Amino acid sequence: MKVLAILGLVVASFALTAVTGWGALVLYYLAPGSDSLRTILAWGFAAVGLAAAGALAVRRARRPAAIIFAAALALVLVAWSSATPSNDRDWRPEVAVLPYATFDGDLVTVHNIRNFDYRTEEDFTPAYYDRTFDVRRLDRVDLVAVYWMGRAIAHLFVSFGFGDEHLPISIEVRKTRTKEYSTVAGFFRQYELYYVVGDERDVVRVRTNYRKAPPEDVYMFRTVGPVENGRRIFLDYMRDINLLKQHPRFYNTLTTNCTTMILAHTTVNPGHVPLSWKVLLSGYAAEYAYEQGRLDRMRRLMLLVTLAALAAGALSAYGTLTDLALERKREIALLKAVGAPRRRIVGRFLAESLERDGHDTTAAQGLLAARQGDLDAIKVVRGASLLRGRQIGESGIAARQQQRQTQKRKDSLQHSGDTVAKRRGLVKRHLGASSSVFEPLGST
């Protein structure tokens, strides 16, 4: 019995310490007053909590210590509950305008679709448009995973496909002009939740071409499942977007973030994916979706290429076709393993070697326009022959009227602020077992 009593006191002490840490941070972030006052309150509560934990070892001190701690904790709970979300703050321009949807039978008009014209990540011209989507035409949902700090952490969002039209929706933090994002602060009601409803030229391109500190690697995977499931998820997104416009909610680093919200939207479907630690560690979410049978079979190749890119970084920018084949022999083996046709493998690496050696032909320029970083948008189009994916931009792959002076142009690109020789943003488009493996976008 004595051993059990001691064990109980140890457990209670750990619990008190954990509550003390949480309460101190609540007061630090949410208590009224100046920064210095909040800091004093946080340290004061920490001292009370640690004293209460220590008092567990002294029988006579337990009761008064518990009373004092309970009173202090009540103040913490008041501070916690008094924080209320708002749509009325001095927002950063990229999250200043709330999207919303209107319904007319199967037609959904999405308002305030973001389509910024970026020059750098911070320098852009805001632009929005409205578009009507026919839910009956929704035929695919893609999962997008963005990595920037190793394998375990990623930002995920979805892109809904309606024939040739696509609508990516990214669930993010709504930041003000004066408050930078902090993972720890995200636990303590510091940010509102925001749905970025945008054009792929905005939501994808800003990540592949313009974010450089740190650079982001972007991968796109095709989900599998009944098309009706995708339509229900899309409509659930629209309803929540409208609800958020009227009733703002807080973002939470652990419970209300990009991945947990995607999972929450999938619960409208029967047999939805259950919660897993791989959802909470968002970098593993794509792997988890594959294990649950929700991504196409080529996902494994994409994951391997992702990990290789994260581990090795950018490949050498120059080299002959032979050198390139030696550099990429593992990737060539992977392409063969998944059944990629020989002509696609040869064509892919021949085009890259032409680009590296400076032999700027019309075909190579068209294929690799998005990767050279000198255009207004990225484009990959669906189909056979030279078509390797789907449209992300409008002005990327147009046949050039004349060949340019190769070396002069490449020297110019190396010094251009838009050249992607300084970053390696990858988009892997994944259309099924019969499709080729797609080129990285925005890479050298």
Among 54-63, 139-148, 392-401, the range of highest mean pLDDT:
139-148
% of the chain beyond a pLDDT of 90 = 52
Q: In the predicted model, what is the mean pLDDT of the chain? A: 77
More confident residue, 85 or 406: 85
Q: What is the pLDDT of residues 70-127, one digit of tens each?
A: 999 999 999 999 999 999 999 999 999 999 999 999 999 999 999 999 999 999 999 9
* Angstrom distances, CA of residue 432 to CA of 224, 296, 438: 9, 6, 11
More confident residue, 439 or 276: 276
Amino acid identity for residue 78 in this structure:
V
Evaluate if residue 402 carries a pLDDT over 50. no
Evaluate if residue 44 carries a pLDDT over 50. yes
SS3 (DSSP) at 63: helix
* Angstrom distances, CA of residue 109 to CA of 113, 247, 308: 10, 20, 41
CA 248 to CA 182: how far, in whole Å? 20
Evaluate if residue 267 carries a pLDDT over 90. yes
The reported pLDDT for the residue numbered 221 is: 87
Q: What's the average model confidence in pLDDT over 268-288?
A: 91
At 348, the pLDDT band (50, 70, 90 cuts) reads low
% of the chain beyond a pLDDT of 70 = 66
The reported pLDDT for the residue numbered 390 is: 31
The reported pLDDT for the residue numbered 130 is: 98
The reported pLDDT for the residue numbered 159 is: 95
Q: What's the average model confidence in pLDDT over 419-442?
A: 35
At 330, the pLDDT band (50, 70, 90 cuts) reads low
Which one, of 82, 264, 322, 339, lies nearest residue 189 by Cα? 82
The reported pLDDT for the residue numbered 165 is: 93
The reported pLDDT for the residue numbered 325 is: 58
Q: Is the separation of the CB atoms in 195 and 174 below 8 Å?
A: no
Q: What is the pLDDT of residues 360-373, one digit of tens each?
A: 333 333 333 333 33
* Angstrom distances, CA of residue 403 to CA of 366, 418, 442: 11, 21, 22
The reported pLDDT for the residue numbered 444 is: 33
The reported pLDDT for the residue numbered 230 is: 95
More confident residue, 187 or 363: 187
At 192, the pLDDT band (50, 70, 90 cuts) reads very high
SS3 (DSSP) at 43: helix
Among 5-9, 252-256, 335-339, the range of highest mean pLDDT:
252-256
The reported pLDDT for the residue numbered 10 is: 83
Which one, of 409, 308, 325, lies nearest residue 368 by Cα? 409
Evaluate if residue 191 carries a pLDDT over 50. yes
Evaluate if residue 210 carries a pLDDT over 60. yes
The pTM of this model reads 0.68
Evaluate if residue 3 carries a pLDDT over 90. no
